Structure 1
Amino acid sequence: MQRSVGPVGSDWSSYERLDDAVRAYFLHAEVALDAITGVLGKHRVQGFTLERVVDLTEAGTSVWQEAAVCDGRRLILWHSEEVVDEQVPGGTVLDSSVQVLPLGSIRHVGMRTLVGRDASGRPVDRGVHLVLATGTPHELNPVPGGDPEAPLTAARFRPEAFRFSKSLEDGGPGQVARLVAFGRLLGRLVPS
């Protein structure tokens, strides 16, 4: 049974259920839910975070959407982006992708919170940045050597990483709190 949710683009942080939050926040909720639940199967969602960015381009408005969902064993990442395709009705197609990572592949969980004070002097989380890094090489950069005979002496690799952020200005206090909770959940679940 589908519950009543606010209009698309509503603050999703008050919704405890993934499907309600996605329907309130995403423009393409059914595409997202189909991709995510197709991977989840009967596994229960333990935590999630959602992101949406609206971009103004020469071709018009573009919407990028992302969900990160943890079922206790895996991190399921879904994202979509509208791509210009002048050969289809409407001129755009939705590029939807899903990626599944076993939690054991995450090598680093880093979370930085920005703590300020409210008008009464009480601490308040003003923002949060969460980084999840894997051991999978994402980018390999050569390190130049000083010898003409050995122009390259080494290489540095940058691991694949996933970044999430929320602030009072971008998402509000509810989404900041939900991202902090998601980061803490992953910190507890990622194997040592």
Structure 2
Amino acid sequence: MGRFSRAARIPTQRRLGPAGSDWSPHQRLDDAARAYFLHADVALEAITGVLGRRRVRGFTLERVVDLTETGASVWQEAAVCDGRRLILWHSEEVSDDGSPGGTILDSSVQVLPLGAIRHVGMRTLVGRDAAGRRIERGVHLVLATGTPHELQPVPGGDPDAPIAAARFRPEAFRFSKSLDDGGPGQIARLIAFGRLMGRLIPG
């Protein structure tokens, strides 16, 4: 998985959820980032520096805390589509004893032409609320490229040749939301983002 994939994170995570941090009501990237990210100025500078004058067609945001032996580290991510490119911004706090506060922010941006995306997969979890109405309880989105990212050995049956072949795993970016992780608004926004990507990638 790529650095921007949640699947690459450690499993001990909890949401940062102060009141008013839900980004889903905000249609503009600028407003959503400022309502949600701890380092919105860094994120927006990195993203708008790539966007230039192009219009944002859709986006999704993520923010979690990794709990490690050394403490908690904030991890933030944005995936933005301008109609021809997928722009991925990622940041996390890295320990640095020489920096005031003991941490620095590692901020990075990755840009992919939509033609590089070979597969869009989206799975939704549909349930019922207390009144029997249908609701989306979660969504998982996968954007896979044709770029080999990981080599997986295929075991062979011959003791003299324990590895029979190798299978390449493509680079993939994964996003997910649930009622506990983001709520119904962010579920709906991620579904809309996944549908947008499915419509825009070249056939």
TM-score, structure 2 as length reference: 0.88
1:145 is the counterpart of 2:160: no
Q: Give the deviation of 1:60 after TM superposition.
A: 2.7
Give the alignment partner of residue 53 of structure 1, picking from 64, 67, 87.
64
SS of residue paired to 1:113: strand
Q: Give the deviation of 1:126 after TM superposition.
A: 0.5
User: After the TM superposition, which residues 37-186 of structure 1 pair with which residues of structure 2 at under 5 Å, given as runs?
Assistant: 37-186=48-197
Q: For residues 144 and 76 of structure 1, what CA distance do their matches in structure 2 show?
A: 37
User: Is residue 8–residue 23 contact of structure 1 (8 Å, CA) maintained in 2?
Assistant: no
Structure 1 residues 63-83: Cα deviation after superposition (integer angstroms, max 9, x where no partner): 000000000000000000000
Q: Percent identity?
A: 83
Structure with higher RCO (Cα < 8 A, 6+ apart) = 2
Q: Give the deviation of 1:144 after TM superposition.
A: 2.6
Deviates more, 1:115-124 or 1:18-27: 115-124
Total equivalences in the alignment: 186
Partner of 1:10: 21
TM-score, structure 1 as length reference: 0.93
Q: For residues 127 and 30 of structure 2, what CA distance do their matches in structure 1 show?
A: 32
Unaligned runs of 5+ in 1: 1-6
CA RMSD in angstroms comes to: 1.4
SS of residue paired to 2:47: helix
Q: Give the deviation of 1:59 after TM superposition.
A: 2.7
User: Is residue 76–residue 101 contact of structure 1 (8 Å, CA) maintained in 2?
Assistant: yes
Partner of 1:3: none
User: Is residue 116–residue 126 contact of structure 1 (8 Å, CA) maintained in 2?
Assistant: yes
SS of residue paired to 1:10: coil
Q: For residues 73 and 30 of structure 1, what CA distance do their matches in structure 2 show?
A: 24
